[in-house]
Structure 1
Amino acid sequence: MIDTHSHIYLSKFDEDRDEVNARAVEAGVKAIMMPAIDFDSISQMEKLSHPELQFYKMAGIHPCDVPEVLPEELEQKLLDFCGQDDFYGVGETGLDYYWSTERVEQQKQSFRLHCEVAKEVQKPVIIHNRESTEDVLDIVEEEQDGSLKGIWHCFNGSVDEGKRAIDLGLYLGIGGVATFKNAGVDKTVAQLPLDKMMLETDAPYLSPTPKRGKRNEPAFMKFTAQKLAELFDLSLEEIDQRTTKIASQLFGLEL
């Protein structure tokens, strides 16, 4: 399995990262994609290694970390990082109207810059969306010139929103929310094409049932995979193979 969205580099794992990684391997995780929160994230990512796990870096500014005034060099800095061979995606970026609507225009400007960079370096953009679905999809539609590809991270939209995202060239990141009993995401996911989905954790956040409320970690992705297996009436092995193939193709991995 590939965890396509994990902040395993954060300090919340500093005390037991070796054990966390060992549990990931035991659960069948082979690779961990690491979206950035800000540029400081990158130095934290570069410290990680494990003989049985592959760690893949990305660069970007989380919408909640977008400054009041975007630095002039932001696009060039993104290009400098994301253009390197050992960076595999652009983000995470996107919009978040849950925590604050004070910097909506700055978030939109930053999101557009990330999309432009993603097109230029031909790597997927990782999209955070919280209470901002219409604006997110509108911007993707405006930016889509046939070359933009990406992931709607932590997909929790409606069937129509999911179909629109797919039509716009996005894949759907399926994480712990799909296992929540009353969220309704599972019913939506079941009506969308599996070949446009990939697994993720968003560790240390959004732990799946039955680990909800605890710190999330890559090993817990198996619970989300099991949920997909139930929804699509497939074996866990089939879910693993299909989602791994999709993620490998999108990120250009050779596993």
Structure 2
Amino acid sequence: MLLTDTHTHIYYHNEQDTLAAQMERCFEHNIHRLFLPNVNSESIAAVMNTVAAYPQNCFPMLGLHPCDVKENYEAELAKIYAALQQHEVYAIGEIGLDLYWDKSTLAIQIDAFRQQVQWAKARNLPIDIHCREAFDELFVLLEELKDDKLFGVLHCFTGNLAQAQQAIDLGFALGIGGVVTYKKSGLDEVVKQIDLKHIVLETDAPYLTPVPFRGKPNESSYLHYIAQKIADIHEVSMEKIAAITTENSKRIFGI
């Protein structure tokens, strides 16, 4: 069995013994593929150092997180673009829109998103999208940008069935994480109605910790709880969930 965490910030531990311990726990639970999105220019080194330490298991993405799109965003984009010339990456991300913390930056978030989508298209790479309280704005943007080169993952999907179908129709897989294990999230009912070919697994560690560790820091080794929950929802084995979602990740990321 081979599980893939398509979105983890495990690199936050890159200069600590914690990293080795967490990676070992991943291996114990058959999690051997981890995709690492940076969030800004300062986090690039941590991502790449982690990839260098685990080149067979960790795969980098690069992008500017919408919460880091501030007045200096053009300079940040320039630094990340320069890093793209130096490193092989497997997606542009995480990028997107976030209106939870600051609605005043929507215009520059949109501009940053457009620029980074063009980077992805020029490299035939997927995008890894962060969207929080901005589904309507995001879908308008994706409709504008859609073509045969626009694809990727809608990370940490927590929307309704109509939004799930809209994302799928636009060429995106749904990144399902710990929220699916929360009793009152309603995400389990959405996932039940989604074909497994449209789903990839993720933890977003150290955030969004699944049950039974909700309220504590998340880690990639907890991915197996998410896989088991989806297996229960679809009434299939966890081995089948692992096989299908890992194959989906290979199709999207090309590795």
Shorter-chain TM-score: which interval? over 0.9
Gap change, CA 1:223 and 1:70, over 3 Å in 2? same
Partner of 1:62: 65
1:210, CA displacement in angstroms? 0.7
How do 1:144-159 residues align onto structure 2 when only pairs under 5 Å count?
Answer: 144-159=146-161
Which portions of structure 1, spanning 4 or more consecutive aligned residues, are displaced by more than 6 angstroms?
none
Partner of residue 182, structure 2: 180
Name the structure 1 match of 2:223.
Answer: 221
Cα distance between partner residues in 2 of 1:50 and 1:154: 26
* AA in 2 matched with 1:251: F
Letter matched to residue 173 of structure 1: G
Structure 2 counterparts to residues 1-255 of structure 1, below 5 A: 1-11=3-13, 14-48=16-50, 49=52, 54-71=57-74, 74=77, 77-82=79-84, 86-253=88-255
Mark the runs of 5 or more structure 2 residues left unpaired by the alignment: none
What is the rounded CA distance, in whole Å, between the counterparts of 2:159 and 2:226 in structure 1? Answer: 17
Q: Deviations over 1:2-40 (max 9, x none)?
A: 110001111498351111111011011011100110122
Kindly provide the amino acid, as one letter, of the partner of residue 6 in structure 2.
T
Cα contact 2:10–2:206 (8 A) shared by 1: yes
One-letter code aligned to 2:36: M
Q: Distance in 2 between matches of 1:108 and 1:171?
A: 21
Q: Using the alignment, how far apart are the partners of 2:4 and 2:29 within structure 1?
A: 11
Q: For 1:30 and 1:85, how far apart are their aligned partners in 2?
A: 21
Return the alpha-carbon distance in structure 2 between the equivalents of residues 13 and 151 of structure 1.
29
* Alignment partners' CA distance in 2, 1:36 and 1:168: 24
Structure with more of its chain in helix, by fraction: 2
Going from structure 1 to structure 2, the CA distance change for 1:51 and 1:154 (only over 3 Å counts) comes to closer
Secondary structure in structure 1 of the residue aligned to 2:58: strand
Give yes or no for contact 1:58–1:82 (8 Å, CA) kept in 2: no
Cα distance in 1, alignment partners of residues 76 and 132 from structure 2: 27
**Counterpart contact for 2:154–2:172, Cα < 8 Å:** yes
Tell me if the contact between 1:94 and 1:128 (Cα under 8 Å) persists in the aligned partners.
yes
Distance 1:161 1:51, change over 3 A: closer
Q: Which amino acid in structure 2 is aligned with residue 97 of structure 1?
A: L
What is the CA distance between 1:126 and its match in structure 2?
A: 0.7
Higher mean alpha-carbon deviation, 5-14 vs 170-179, is at: 5-14
CA distance in 2: counterparts of 1:164 and 1:221, whole angstroms: 26
How far apart, in 2, do the equivalents of 1:34 and 1:161 lie? 25
Name the SS of the counterpart of 1:95 in structure 2.
strand
Structure 1 residues 87, 105: closer, same or farther in 2, change over 3 A? same
In 2, Cα distance between equivalents of 1:139 and 1:83:
26
The 2-side partners of 1:69 and 1:190 are apart by 42
Q: C-alpha distance in 2, partners of 1:203/1:143?
A: 29
RMSD: 1.9
Q: Which amino acid aligns with 2:196?
A: L
